[in-house]
A and B are shown apart, each in its own frame.
Chain A
């Protein structure tokens, strides 16, 4: 990938990280590390662009769909949606506030949100309904679903995985945010998820494993996923929870914590450094 494109993604991702940190710090609510682990691949997805959308028109009939199935991190979409003119950017300041549009979890009434998420394990199943309905209506679109690795503990994930593979739902593009942390610690130390690449492959999926913070690798994987027309695709994005803020990176205890003013300022300073991302 050209250097200027990488710089473009880096600048965009940094801007979104700033906005999220500000938004969550001001309202003292949210999940910063869960958002930050997926922010780099979300940036490439939207600003590549790989996902089809129309600026200012969240209901665009030919849009690709996206579900953040790890719904506690759906707030990562809000600065992006504001940038796409899906709603007034002033809404970001009213995050979780009475009268505000944007809540802590994915609310289907927010323009751009395709369905509720917040409890884990629903996104792929909902996407199977979207895709089969589209096929009946002869609509061609891809449906992207972002799941967490902790979410892979849910049995419904694997029910959906069997179904999607059996029906060869190649329109399904799942991105697995493999940050290796859940609330109480490291997945591999608590209840080991094991070789997820082998598991999804055994379930009949096209599996691509990448560094989820490498813009070039994400870009390539998303392109590659489009060329697979026989199977659903899962991109296993190996990521770092809290990426970009040193004291949050890989630290499970920050899952739903909001920094104090001192730490907020430190985080802000770290994000300003070019090397941070």
Chain B
């Protein structure tokens, strides 16, 4: 078990040793694994200063020049601080820049207002060409690092800040191709769709209710959603989406849109669990925040039993 950022960067380090086009650029954000990268591959590491705007424009310059830049910062700042740079330069030219953020959603629980990131999925999704990925454990983070560097594209990768136990990974290739993995009975009539930290909670709730016909989908690629995922969800009668994002533009809205586009909504009950517009900010740890925002295990149980 490792921190996702260490797993991602350790794997990136191995690739960067062989591929001098990989350039790691940090806006003053670290990781234990990054210390090794900085020391042994110093020519491929750049400290951008706490200057996200310049980091993105510089990353664009590297990408235009044929390099494979990886831009790394805390989740609340990476996209938000440099959004116009990403939109006008990187996205507009469809440049192969990999954005890696740490601490998405409510990951910086005690840091509150400035460090919550309840909209990064929405703002990343609506950038043209941008793929959006999220990790629920360090194994997926390492596999994703390998996967994305094989064919660099414009991608936003969301990593959790804290330790997460590793979940079962049966078929890595299938998981990354289809962008999700299943837990529980695949044919269950009820499915909880979640990602990252909340996937762990969803699995816990599912396991504590063996009497219920429920499964969990760990969503790894939020954009684009795969046809396999939509087909998989079409077999359900009830879908619960659970996220630390504002409901506007979050994971749940993406699932509803995709099902609607395929004409698959009519016979389904869908409940979105997430942050509501105007949500209040409290001091407390992540679990306390979940209780406050109706995202706790108990709240999920109630929705399951409805």
Contact = CB atoms under 8 A, between A and B. Distances in A.
B53 A163 contact: no
Contact of B65 (A119, A122, A129, A159): A129
Contact of A133 (B49, B61, B85): B61
Size class of A's contact patch? 20 to 34
A114 B64 contact: yes
Contact of B54 (A116, A136, A163): A163
Interface in B256-296: none
A116 B61 contact: no
B88 A118 contact: yes
Given A132-B46, A133-B66, A162-B49, A126 B88 contact: no
B53 A156 contact: yes
What secondary structure prevails in chain A residues at the interface with B? helix
Most chain A CB neighbours (cut-off 10 Å) among B59, B61, B62 = B61
Given A108-B93, A136-B20, A156-B85, A129 B61 contact: yes
Size class of B's contact patch? 20 to 34
A116 B93 CA distance: 7
A196 interface: no
Most chain B CB neighbours (cut-off 10 Å) among A119, A129, A160, A163 = A129
A126 B61 contact: yes
Given A116-B92, A122-B89, A163 B51 contact: yes
A121 B60 contact: no
Contacts of B23: 133
Contact of A128 (B58, B63, B67, B85): B58
Most chain B CB neighbours (cut-off 10 Å) among A119, A127, A131, A132 = A132
Interface in A109-158: 114-116, 118-119, 121-122, 124-134, 136-137, 155-156
Contacts of A127: 61
B57 interface: yes
Contacts of A119: 84, 88
A133 B57 CA distance: 13
Contact of B89 (A116, A130, A137, A162): A116
A2 B62 CA distance: 41
A213 B137 CA distance: 61
Interface in A48-104: none
Contact of B56 (A114, A125, A137): A125
A163 B28 CA distance: 13
Nearest to A125: B57
Q: 8 tightest CB-CB pairs across the interface, nearest first?
A: A129-B61, A125-B57, A133-B65, A159-B54, A159-B51, A156-B53, A126-B61, A129-B58
Interface of B: 20, 23, 43, 46, 48-49, 51, 53-54, 56-67, 69, 84-85, 88-89, 92-93
Interface of A: 108, 114-116, 118-119, 121-122, 124-134, 136-137, 155-156, 159-160, 162-163, 166
